[in-house]
Structure 1
């Protein structure tokens, strides 16, 4: 069976994980205190938002492809594929963190452990650093549980409406939380309805893509070399996201532009940016991004003073742990998942 990998998405993942790493390295012992990075805003959160858009776009594209080929969507096959892709490396990471806690190398609470095991870290306001990054993976898992059911139940047009409702509601919910919970740990808590806008716009663009590609104006816009000028604009807005009005009124437009860039990148493979995103080393970093995201957090700990959390050793150790996780855990289960895909006759894609 031929690969159904969507071009450029792994390259975009590589860029996203680079932003996360750069954001988390700031403040780490030994990392150059370059003021430029701080002036760009929360780069780690920007990287996570790009991950969310990619996830919404890819998962929806796969659901659409399956429905077009087979006339329906197999929820059982979908969840089996998700479990084999996500759970093994995730729970191996949790096991190692628990062992490190028992030894005394790190500290996590019982609440940390329970919310991590059940994928609800985004509702844990007092989470520790070492499992703090799992909030975004919890959001992803909640998306996997909800969206295929809505996609099947609603159908194409109503699914687009649902995606845009979630996209519009999230910044309003965040603004409401900022006003009602002006102080305290719950003001910026990443509850699913408050952070689903990135995923939702990725879903909406995937659903609208067949129609968009029939619109000459959209094709011309996304084929323009000037499209890359959106990148500095996105970064400029990202640095101001701490202001509630910016987040409410401007950031949604930036998410829309990022989603357009993601969609356009899958078609602009012949441009220099397309060739860059599809270079083998870049694709490999993107392929490694899940394990790297899991393992960077304990090493890129700006609150610790241990040698293993000092730059550049911390970055090297994060990559080493990610490589071990990928080759020892992820790849065997990915092979198992490919067998499951062949058995269920669902197109293969690295999601």
Structure 2
């Protein structure tokens, strides 16, 4: 899912010299869009390109890690400035950032699909990942939004436990590392938890905790320049090509059965753990140069340019609208699923999605966030 920024204009206004994180959000959104293109057209069954498209769902791992980094870092700055975290204000900002735009999309898709009351309620409350057969046709990608919201709910407690128990960044990093490993255990265990015949636990927060924990750990390391791990990552970031090569290698490995089948169905058990490990490697390889590097390399400049940053700003709308638009393209053209249609999706579906995402950001997301920031103050 798209990891909505707490500050609509730009991540860089909160985090100096890290405008590239906006661009990385755009890259992650592009991967999610491409994986649906690959699946709907049947391209995932054909060759290396198809497999690369099919594993674009690793964009979700990038979004989860970005949420972990940005929100944990924001809480750290608030704690350092005031000595506490305004949890009610945090929840208000998260709710206003995520729910209104999501509900608009849900209303449009729901009116077209006309699901039963159970599907309406579970989707509206973002509890669809806990109930069998509750994903809404044309809006199934929002399962990851339900996982993300679960993280929003528990993050303040995780942060406060870490900060109150220790001011030592090394200890905090060790604890987060331990939770990363526990998340892998939860991913493995998800394979034996079935509800209504579905392995729903593979979509729950514990099984995806490693991605969020990675983002939080990067926030801890970045704000502690005396840590040895900070120096190691800073030295590594000086070679962005090496970081990107490592991310690319992990991505290629993830196209094999190690990370599960190339379908849009749930992955659970050992394969989900493998996907979590490889997703963490991919994400770290993409984030480290942006967080610890000088920002002068081609990669950082490309993700920091104005078009990339704008696409990152509207990426939440892209996440919400691309699948409904793609479904509409198939309905209007009469093309059969899994038999082609890539040209129609890319030439028509993607531009329409970008237009709707821009409208969502301009008319729904930004105005509401401006209001909540005026009431609670922006996160800095």
Correspondence for 2:250 among 231, 234, 237: 234
Contact 1:8 1:277 in 2 (8 A): yes
- Structure 2 CA distance, aligned partners of 1:25 and 1:34? 13
Question: Shift of residue 193 of structure 1?
Answer: 1.1
The TM-score with structure 2 as length reference comes to 0.79
Mapping of residues 190-201 of structure 1, within 5 Å: 190-201=203-214
Q: Which residue of 2 aligns with 1:128?
A: 136
Q: 1:298 to 1:74 in 2, by over 3 A?
A: same
- Work out which of the residue numbers 46, 49, 66 in structure 1 matches 2:61: 49
| Aligned counterparts, 1:1-351, within 5 A | 3-5=13-15, 6-28=18-40, 35-40=47-52, 42-100=54-112, 106-126=113-133, 127-155=135-163, 160-178=173-191, 184-186=197-199, 189-211=202-224, 214-215=227-228, 216-225=231-240, 226-240=242-256, 241-242=259-260, 245=270, 247-248=272-273, 251-252=276-277, 254-256=279-281, 258-259=283-284, 261-268=286-293, 269-301=295-327, 304-307=330-333, 310-311=344-345, 312-341=347-376, 344=377, 346-347=379-380
Distance 2:44 2:178 in 1: 42
* Secondary structure of 1:275 counterpart: helix
In the alignment, is the contact (CA less than 8 A) between 1:7 and 1:266 conserved in 2? Answer: no
2:341 corresponds to: none
Determine the C-alpha separation between the residues in 2 that align with 1:27 and 1:250: 18
1: CA distance between counterparts of 2:45 and 2:351?
Answer: 19
Gaps of 5+ in 1: 101-105
Instruction: List per-residue Cα deviations over 1:164-197 (Å, max 9, x = no partner).
Output: 3432123322323335659942267402211222
2:35–2:54 CA contact under 8 A, matched in 1? yes
Cα gap change, 1:259 to 1:213, in 2 (>3 Å): farther
If the length of structure 1 is used for normalisation, what is the TM-score?
0.85
| 1:160–1:69 distance in 2 versus 1, CA, 3 Å | same
Q: CA RMSD in A?
A: 3.1
User: CA separation in 2, counterparts of 1:33 and 1:257?
Assistant: 23
